[in-house]
Structure 1
């Protein structure tokens, strides 16, 4: 009801038919299908080779294991954690000829499950609707890489884990642990859960127990220390061309320096930068990343110890840790941008107004990523000034997101404020007590 100029009560005007249609579940699911159909077509028929890793690398690994020749992570050290092999093997279900299509279908199904959980079964609120629309826009801005890498399998699993974090921390910890054993980055979300949640020991015990089981099964299968091989494989890599910290050497190439160059590493199957100081900087990235992550965690701990609600800490800390992994990473692959989705969607679903800025910045990171990969990746490899500028802009956007995250966490620990309205599809009335 509203009150008119004459003081009489009048009925609140109902939203228009077009607004009800656009804001409803049907519109969201139609958009979900349209976005994923577009991404599938871009992966299969778009410019460049978006499915290069899937068709040339994942398929080979899956076939080698199926033929009994070589089991990655078991018979030899591997660049990925052991569970990464599961989706690669599943994608072989309909044979090698259909491997790319099966892979894309698998990722789309996982996204659909996460999307359904995000929307929830209750009345669709504005907050959840905004979070859902943002995720679809983010996927479209990111382009084919949103489906075409192993990271795409972990994103929906991590997203569901984050949505379960408030009311069911043990389920959240289990999902995030599984995602971590597929690709390491969800460990940042798990760390944020442990810091922010009062039932943190439950999450720790679930993560430890599940990890112990995964390692135990791998050892029984004959992996030996190969189950931890991904740690050494990552630390031994050079400075990849897309890495944010590589921008300095790319600009030196643009300036005409003959001391820096871009070359292809056939062992790692990626383009890397060489030049003065590159090896030193590459060796420092891991300790710098660890120190930055510890710093972010300490700011989160400060907020929690000063009484900040879990809803004020979890999403900002998760986003900050994810961005730290991206900024201080010597790999910097374009698919890393997919990591931003889980913490931003959680933030929009629980604290929409506070997360509007990082949501916008993350969308811009997705757009700059697609500009570079896969369509015009060759221009970056040639150190074209325009594309080096785009990569520099992407790094700057990530730095701003990190600064926003630290500032938000610091503010959360500087004053006692009431929690935002809980509108997560998984949050319960006991969320704050938890």
Structure 2
């Protein structure tokens, strides 16, 4: 006869079965085959969406090709021959598809393949991180799906993996992280935020020199040397002047009061700038805000670096958390205080969250620090896709729903920045549990 189970056996069996199923599902989802299948599905969908939306996503890639083909055919190179909106390092990734493909469609495919390959390297390192790298991969893939195809059609699709890898190796190999951040900053400025966080968390003067100054200076010397040899020394820093000439972009956080006011004030105008290919808010008020942001952005970056420095000195035992918080805060500041608000910028803020999930412990403090920001970041990414490319025409036209989505997205960005600052202050003011290492 079959044994008769006791009442306790009957009552606990469903719970045990549920736990076994959860453990089995976790093992399957944490396996590399499942992760790479997820990676392939996500990137396949994103590439498909890039083709569906066409010029909205790949328009900038077409511009990249034009710059490179013009240089190859006529010898008229950005930076070497004229000032440019990007740092000189951006020429390298733009040139690779032109060297491997003859047609525009071929250039598109190689570009998207290049971005996918860079992200594959980042996912490989992320999945190997301990203790929760596999879970972090799923967050990272969910973030990219939420953001949509815009990142794969911009330089930011290469920057995000660079930022992610730099943050993953920052604590154990800060010199390598600084090298990656500096290389990334010579492609587009955003990885410089990681460099600031690394500088602020250096343990002492010797570490600052060895891990921050020397690798950063070495990369800069190589880049400036190449520019000088090629005759572009006069233009190598003109990217900062190019950014200074821009006005308040319609998607930017600071433009929110004006875009909302358009719901009832028809005098607020949005106009396309065909020199830098973006939509800007016109008027004395927006112009004044744009000028103020030229000052506010560097000031905010310096103040945040000072806060990170203070937190790292107060809690050297939590330097990894401080570094990730500092990098997240700096990257968010680059968006919140920026008069440019391009949707691909949101790709910058996913890497600190993914790295934090991968490297964090199971402690209540870690969950409190990163759970809500991770959830909020996914919402920000999804709202960004809703604005661009899905409802961009409605957003530019001042339609109520699209305007509300844009305002909510920008409010969440401010909330994420405030939350990072508050958490940094809390960490700095908390009781030190271990003495600082020399």
- Whether these two folds match at TM > 0.5 is yes
2:274 matched to 1:266? yes
1:166 to 1:261, Cα distance in 2 relative to 1, 3 A: same
Aligned twin of 1:426: none
Asked if the contact 2:140–2:354 (Cα under 8 Å) also holds between the matched residues in 1, the reply is yes
Asked if the contact 1:65–1:71 (Cα under 8 Å) also holds between the matched residues in 2, the reply is yes
Aligned twin of 1:321: 330
Q: Deviations over 1:371-407 (max 9, x none)?
A: 0111221111101111111111111111111111111
Shift of 1:418: 5.1
Write the distance in 2 (CA, Å) between the matches of 1:264 and 1:313: 41
Q: How many residues align?
A: 409
1:28 equivalent among 21, 27, 35: 35
1:277 equivalent among 282, 285, 293: 285
1:289 equivalent among 273, 297, 302: 297
Write the distance in 2 (CA, Å) between the matches of 1:279 and 1:16: 57
Aligned twin of 1:390: 405
Write the distance in 1 (CA, Å) between the matches of 2:194 and 2:28: 35
Asked if the contact 1:155–1:339 (Cα under 8 Å) also holds between the matched residues in 2, the reply is yes
Shift of 1:341: 1.7
Asked if the contact 2:130–2:358 (Cα under 8 Å) also holds between the matched residues in 1, the reply is no
2:108 matched to 1:100? yes
Q: In structure 1, the residue corresponding to 2:237 is in which secondary structure?
A: helix
2:375 matched to 1:360? yes
Write the distance in 2 (CA, Å) between the matches of 1:33 and 1:229: 39
Write the distance in 2 (CA, Å) between the matches of 1:357 and 1:80: 34
Write the distance in 2 (CA, Å) between the matches of 1:302 and 1:146: 34
Aligned twin of 2:342: 333
Q: Which moved more, 1:226-235 or 1:273-282?
A: 273-282
Report the TM-score, using the length of structure 1 for normalisation. Answer: 0.90
1:195 equivalent among 189, 194, 200: 200
Write the distance in 2 (CA, Å) between the matches of 1:118 and 1:364: 22
Asked if the contact 1:59–1:96 (Cα under 8 Å) also holds between the matched residues in 2, the reply is no
Q: Deviations over 1:359-381 (max 9, x none)?
A: 11111110011001112211111
Aligned twin of 1:161: 166
2:65 matched to 1:50? no
Q: In structure 2, the residue corresponding to 1:147 is in which secondary structure?
A: helix
Shift of 1:300: 1.2
- In the TM superposition, 1:171-210 aligns within 5 A as 171-198=176-203, 199-202=207-210, 203-210=212-219
Q: In structure 1, the residue corresponding to 2:390 is in which secondary structure?
A: coil
Write the distance in 2 (CA, Å) between the matches of 1:282 and 1:60: 29
Q: In structure 2, the residue corresponding to 1:49 is in which secondary structure?
A: helix
Shift of 1:29: 0.9
1:372 equivalent among 387, 393, 398: 387
Aligned twin of 1:75: 81
Write the distance in 1 (CA, Å) between the matches of 2:152 and 2:208: 32
2:266 matched to 1:257? yes
Q: Based on CA coordinates, which of the two structures has the bigger radius of gyration?
A: 2
Shift of 1:47: 6.6
Q: Deviations over 1:20-69 (max 9, x none)?
A: 212222111110110001101111123762111112x1110011111133
Q: Deviations over 1:112-152 (max 9, x none)?
A: 011101112xxx86621221111000000000012110111
2:66 matched to 1:60? yes
Write the distance in 1 (CA, Å) between the matches of 2:313 and 2:29: 43
Q: Which moved more, 1:282-291 or 1:323-332?
A: 282-291
Q: In structure 2, the residue corresponding to 1:76 is in which secondary structure?
A: coil
1:306 to 1:16, Cα distance in 2 relative to 1, 3 A: closer
Q: In structure 1, the residue corresponding to 2:77 is in which secondary structure?
A: coil
Write the distance in 1 (CA, Å) between the matches of 2:25 and 2:200: 43
Asked if the contact 2:131–2:358 (Cα under 8 Å) also holds between the matched residues in 1, the reply is no
Asked if the contact 2:190–2:331 (Cα under 8 Å) also holds between the matched residues in 1, the reply is yes
Write the distance in 2 (CA, Å) between the matches of 1:95 and 1:376: 34
Write the distance in 1 (CA, Å) between the matches of 2:237 and 2:284: 32
Write the distance in 2 (CA, Å) between the matches of 1:173 and 1:68: 36
Asked if the contact 2:262–2:398 (Cα under 8 Å) also holds between the matched residues in 1, the reply is yes
Write the distance in 2 (CA, Å) between the matches of 1:221 and 1:48: 33
2:231 matched to 1:226? no
Write the distance in 1 (CA, Å) between the matches of 2:432 and 2:41: 41
Q: In structure 2, the residue corresponding to 1:272 is in which secondary structure?
A: strand
Report the TM-score, using the length of structure 2 for normalisation. Answer: 0.89
